[in-house]
């Protein structure tokens, strides 16, 4: 089957055309009749009487990364001896520095003692860790311990933020962008149906980011939205917005009365003078939330630890502090990050831990250089990479899924098709720099063989 056709299939052929916004997630679309359960036959499965959430039915065939994993598994079935190298999903590969695991081990052992045992912690995170995050990443920007909500990761916080905003908001995203923003918006019922012809959901503003505009949207042509998801350094393009660009973004949000959700999960990869936080921009505390993560700095993709900053200066239109409502969401749907992860987080932010994280980031940045050299020596235009662990490679005029399939089939290397991040990613492939050095070198060798 044509892989593109497969991914673009509507998730439910039964979903009829509907108004561009669906605010009643629990209601079935009007023209879907509430049919009585089919008469059971010996082969028919039992069905409950519960209607499927119509918003989930709007989602396309699969979340991007599980879909890639499925194709990788299918490739392995076909070529059982292939030594597949995975530069796709963007999962970390290098061991967690011992200074960090020691902190977790110590806390784990303490849990076996009467004095060291602790149960539920504060939903917002341990005071010491909140203080350390505020001091380490936001020391000069007026962010305080109480503005920090420690979490089990940035992705989880993106969904919690969507619950905070509810179904009655319109979002803008960079195009291409990390899929969690769009998919969580669809699930919340903020969007219309997926429109095959433009490959976009109704009622989402896609802000095109391409080499032509330096991967920063032309804000003069972006209509007002309630929420603006903005990721810098960006996944997947690897582009980091400059101070001037972020100043424009903050002004744009303020002029429109919007809230920016700024995803800085890769901030420690910044090598130039691009801001590492939106709160470096004057006035940002009145218009922005920021989410961060230890996943890509300390190899915490499995350990799970992140945070979200909701400044007390950020207010809804009725003057109610956003942080108060976020606190309510966190207390309702989350019981705090794991004690062990939080001990690891404190290890990360000790002087030795910070140095160790910088070394991990430096290692992946060397991988990035190898991948960039490989593609530039083959004559490709590559973007990103300088401030991020992602290389955004242009295959002009080609379909991203075809390039993905070609590289998998012929080089046994898993990449990520750019179009999986939005229509603006068509013609690009994202190569992740997370990998053991020998695998990166071997992947580079195979890619040179393929495209020489
Ligand atoms: C931009 C971006 N935000 C958030 C995440 C998820 O981070 P976490 O592991 O903290 O959930 C990722 C993971 O790849 C990401 O690329």
The percentage of residues in the chain with a pLDDT greater than 70, rounded to a whole number, is 90
Tell me how far the alpha carbon of residue 117 lies from the centroid of ligand 1, in angstroms.
Answer: 31
Strands 194-195 and 200-201: antiparallel
Residue nearest atom 2 in ligand 1 by C-alpha distance: 265
Are 434 and 364 in contact by the 8 Å Cβ rule? The answer is yes
Q: Which atom of ligand 1 is nearest to the CA of 89?
A: 14
For residues 115, 117, 120 and 125, what is the CA-based torsion angle, rounded to 10 degrees? 80
Look at residue 36 and tell me whether its pLDDT is greater than 60: no
Q: Which of 151, 235, 430 to mutate to test the pocket of ligand 1 (most atoms within 8 A of CB)?
A: 235
List, in sequence order, the alpha helices (H) in 79-122. 98-110
Is the pLDDT assigned to residue 2 strictly greater than 90? Answer: no
Residue with tokens 């046994």: 412
Give the position, in ligand 1's atom list, of the atom nearest the Cα of 155: 11
> What is the spatial distance between Cα 194 and Cα 174, in angstroms, rounded to a whole number?
17
**Closest by Cα among 365, 381, 371, 385 to 443:** 371
Shortest-distance Cα residue to atom 7 of ligand 1: 154
379 pLDDT band, cuts 50/70/90, is very high
The percentage of residues in the chain with a pLDDT greater than 90, rounded to a whole number, is 87
Between 390 and 40, the more confident residue is 390
Residue 347: both structure tokens together? 């290890």
What's the average model confidence in pLDDT over 380-384?
A: 97
Distance 1 CA to ligand 1 centre (A): 31
- Confidence at residue 271, expressed as pLDDT on a 0 to 100 scale: 97
What pLDDT digit, counting tens, does each position of 69-127 carry?
999 999 999 999 999 999 988 899 999 999 999 999 999 999 999 999 999 999 999 99
Which three-class secondary structure state does DSSP give residue 147? helix
Alpha helices by DSSP H, 257-383: 295-298, 322-333, 339-348, 351-377
Cα(78) to centroid(ligand 1), Å: 31
Exposure on the CB side of residue 94, measured as CA atoms within 13 A: 24
Ligand 1 mean position, distance from CA 301 (Å): 9
Distance of CA 77 to the CA centre of its chain: 29
Q: How far is CA 169 from CA 21, 99, 346, 361, 445, in A?
A: 10, 43, 36, 36, 48
pLDDT at 38 over 60: no
The strand pairing partners of 382, in sequence order, are 393
Query: Is the separation of the CB atoms in 308 and 362 below 8 Å?
Result: no
Residue 294: both structure tokens together:
């230890």
Task: Measure the CA angle with vertex 351, ends 350 and 355; round to 5°.
Answer: 110
Q: Which residue's CA lies nearest to atom 10 of ligand 1? A: 153
Helix (H) / strand (E) element for 54: namely: helix 54-58
In three-state form (DSSP H/G/I as H, E/B as E, the rest C), the secondary structure along 191-257 is: CCCEECCCCEECCEEEEECCHHHCCCCCHHHCCCCCEEEEECCCCCCCCCCCHHHHHHHHHHHHHHC
Burial-class residue 21 by CB neighbours within 10 Å (0-12, 13-18, 19+). middle
Q: How high does pLDDT run on average in the chain?
A: 91
CB 228 within 8 A of CB 377: no
- Range 308-323 average pLDDT: 98
pLDDT at position 43: 72
CA–CA distance, 411 with 444 (Å, rounded to integer): 10
Name the pLDDT band for 21 (thresholds 50, 70, 90).
Answer: very low
Strands, DSSP E only, in 129-240?
A: 148-151, 171-175, 194-195, 200-201, 204-208, 227-231
* Candidate from 37-41, 135-139, 199-203, 243-247 with smallest mean pLDDT: 37-41
What phi, psi does 201 have (nearest 5°)?
Answer: -85, 145
Which domains are seen in the chain, by residue range? 64-95+353-451 (3.90.1150.10), 98-352 (3.40.640.10)
403 C-alpha to ligand 1 centroid (Å): 24
Distance CA 399, CA 199 (A): 14
35-39, 110-114, 444-448: least confident range: 35-39
Question: What H or E segment, with its residue span, contains residue 77?
Answer: helix 64-78
> Is-contact 133 341, C-beta < 8 A?
no
DSSP per position, 372-413 = HHHHHHTT--EEE-TTSSEEEEE-TTS-HHHHHHHHHHHH-E
Q: pLDDT tens across 24-34, in order?
A: 434 444 433 34
Mark 382-415 as b/e (b = at least 16 C-beta within 10 Å): bbbbbbbbbbbbbbeeebbbebbbbbbeebbbbb
pLDDT of residue 62: 67
| Rounded average pLDDT over 324-330 | 98
Residue whose token pair is 């070394």: 359
The pLDDT of residue 66 is 83
Instruction: Give me the pLDDT at residue 232, please.
Output: 98
Cα(15) to centroid of ligand 1, in Å?
Answer: 31
pLDDT of residue 11: 34
Q: How confident is the model at residue 35 (pLDDT cuts 50, 70, 90)?
A: very low
Atom of ligand 1 nearest to the CA of 178: 1
How many C-beta neighbours within 10 Å does residue 280 have? 15
Choice between 40 and 200, residue whose per-residue pLDDT is larger: 200
CA distances from 302 to 79, 100, 222 (A): 29, 14, 37
Tokens of 135: 């001091």
- What does the alpha-carbon distance between residue 412 and residue 198 come to, in Å, rounded to a whole number? 31
Strands lying side by side in the sheet with 306-309: 148-151, 306-309, 288-293, 259-263, 227-231, 171-175, 204-208
Which pLDDT band holds residue 19 (cuts at 50, 70, 90)? very low
Both tokens of 272, joined, read 């130039």
pLDDT digits (tens, 9 = 90+) for 198-228: 999 999 999 999 999 999 999 999 999 999 9
Q: Which of 360, 378, 383, 374 is CA-nearest to residue 436?
A: 360
Q: Would you call 315 helix, strand, or coil by DSSP?
A: strand
Record the pTM. 0.90
What is the distance in A from the centroid of ligand 1 to the CA of 264? 9
Instruction: State which ligand 1 atom lies nearest to the alpha carbon of 234.
Output: 1
Cα(22)–Cα(205) distance, integer angstroms: 16
């Amino acid at each position: 089957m044509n892989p593109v056709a497969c991914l673009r299939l509507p998730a439910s052929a039964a979903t009829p055309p509907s108004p561009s916004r669906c605010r009643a997630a629990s209601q079935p679309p009007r023209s879907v009749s509430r049919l009585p359960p089919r008469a059971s036959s010996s082969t028919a499965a039992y069905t409950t009487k519960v209607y499927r959430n119509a918003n989930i039915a709007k989602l396309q065939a699969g979340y991007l990364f599980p879909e890639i994993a499925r194709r990788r598994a299918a490739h392995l079935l076909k070529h059982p001896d292939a030594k597949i190298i995975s530069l796709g999903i963007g999962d970390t590969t290098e061991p967690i520095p011992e200074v960090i695991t020691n902190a977790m081990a110590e806390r784990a052992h303490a849990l076996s003692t009467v004095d060291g045992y602790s149960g539920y912690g504060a939903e917002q995170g341990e005071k010491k860790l909140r203080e350390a995050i505020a001091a380490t990443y936001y020391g000069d920007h007026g962010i305080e311990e109480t503005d920090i909500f420690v979490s089990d990761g940035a992705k989880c916080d993106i969904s919690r933020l969507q619950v905070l905003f509810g179904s009655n908001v319109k979002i803008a995203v960079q195009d291409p962008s990390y899929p969690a923003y769009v998919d969580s918006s669809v699930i919340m019922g903020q969007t219309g149906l997926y429109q095959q012809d433009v490959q976009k959901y109704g009622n989402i503003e896609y802000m095109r980011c391409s080499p032509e505009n330096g991967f920063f949207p032309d804000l003069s042509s972006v209509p007002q939205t309630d929420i603006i998801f903005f990721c810098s350094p960006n996944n997947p393009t690897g582009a980091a917005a400059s101070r001037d660009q972020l100043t424009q973004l903050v002004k744009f949000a303020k002029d429109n009365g919007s809230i920016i959700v700024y995803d800085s999960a890769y901030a420690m990869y910044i090598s130039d003078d691009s801001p590492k936080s939106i709160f470096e921009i004057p006035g940002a505390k009145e218009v922005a939330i920021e989410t961060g993560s230890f996943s890509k700095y300390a190899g915490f993709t499995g350990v799970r630890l992140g945070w979200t900053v909701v400044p007390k200066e950020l207010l809804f239109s009725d003057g109610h502090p956003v942080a108060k409502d976020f606190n309510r969401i966190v207390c309702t749907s989350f019981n705090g990050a794991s004690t062990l992860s939080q001990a690891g987080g404190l290890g990360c932010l000790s002087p030795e831990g910070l140095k160790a994280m910088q070394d991990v980031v430096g290692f992946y940045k060397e991988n990035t250089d190898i991948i960039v050299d490989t593609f530039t020596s083959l004559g490709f235009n590559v973007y990103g990479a300088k401030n991020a662990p992602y290389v955004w490679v242009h295959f002009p005029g080609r379909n991203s899924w075809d390039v993905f399939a070609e590289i998998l089939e012929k080089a046994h290397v898993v990449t990520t098709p750019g179009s999986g991040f939005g229509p603006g990613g068509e013609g690009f492939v994202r190569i992740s720099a997370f990998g053991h050095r020998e695998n990166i070198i071997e992947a580079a060798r195979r890619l040179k063989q393929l495209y020489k």
